[in-house]
Amino acid sequence: MITRIIRLFAFAILLGSGTISLPLAAQDDPAERTFAEQALPEIVAAVPDAEVSMEPGDPLQINIKRANEAGSDTINLHRLRAFCQTITREECAAERTHLIEVITTTPSRAEPVAADLRIIVRDAEYWGYAERALGKSGTLPIHRRIGDDLYAIIAIDSTQTIQTANSENISNLGLTETEAWTQAARQTEAIIPSLPENQAIGDGLFAFQGEEYTGTMLAFPDRWTALAAVNGPDLAVIVPSDQIVAAAVIPDGEDLDGFRQFAQEQCDLAPRCISSNVYRWREGQWVISR
């Protein structure tokens, strides 16, 4: 896990390149349908015993219904398509293959244990996909809203993938939801960077970079309340992916626009973007700085 403090005059160099806009909502347009159709044969080959279909009106949501199983799995290709616009066709194909393998491969340990519990942070777009795919089956992930468009979600970690946890999963572990939150928080906090709660950022930037779960730093309100108390209302935070969190003291204006541009660029470069927004910490919640 890496923590860096960068002076803003050096950080500004990172803001020079252009951005690619990330779609705010799914649209059934010909380009999206073509992208989905290119992925379908690979998905079908990975799950030959399942029914694979595109969601009506949203071709980038691929539904997988396995025989003799309640509910269905979902592969969301929205952010992969956005990411593919920044890389080569060959790199895009490799990312697509990896995504399909992760989602369709059965974990080596069929039964999770309480030690596998973690917390992830996702945005409203991700949550919308979850509601559409899982809401009717009553198996929505256990979650808490932590901001305008951010959610903390209990997840189960394994060697192949990270899957969200629902009430049935938690019950099978012999835990209540409250106990699951407590254990997941403790186990996640142990593997994410420590926030310098009482340190003034000044004209610098706190940048945290690591593997999975770095983005979950935003799910621990006590840390941010302390940091915001020291640095004031202009504290600005971005969480473009599970690997990157950055915080700086930036008032509204051109500098904040540059920080927002940097968040968008990092979001575009991430295979699984969390958010391209800049957030302020207000009364225990993450508020989008507009």
pLDDT tens per residue, range 60-79 = 888 888 877 655 677 888 87
Alpha-helix runs per DSSP H in the chain: 8-11, 30-46, 78-84, 89-104, 124-134, 167-172, 177-189, 221-231, 254-269
Q: Given a cut of 50, is residue 255 above it in pLDDT?
A: yes
- How far is it, in rounded angstroms, from Cα 127 to Cα 133? 10
**173-186 burial string, b = 16+ CB within 10 Å, else e?**
bebeeeebbebbbe
Q: What are phi and psi of 22, to 5 degrees?
A: -95, 130
Model confidence at 194, in pLDDT bands (50, 70, 90)? Answer: confident
Least confident of 65-79, 120-134, 228-242, 267-281: 65-79
Going by C-beta distance under 8 Å and a sequence separation of 6 or more, which residues neighbour residue 216? 118, 119, 120, 121, 152, 188, 192, 242
Neighbouring CB atoms inside 10 A of 16's CB total 9
- The whole-number pLDDT of residue 29 equals 75
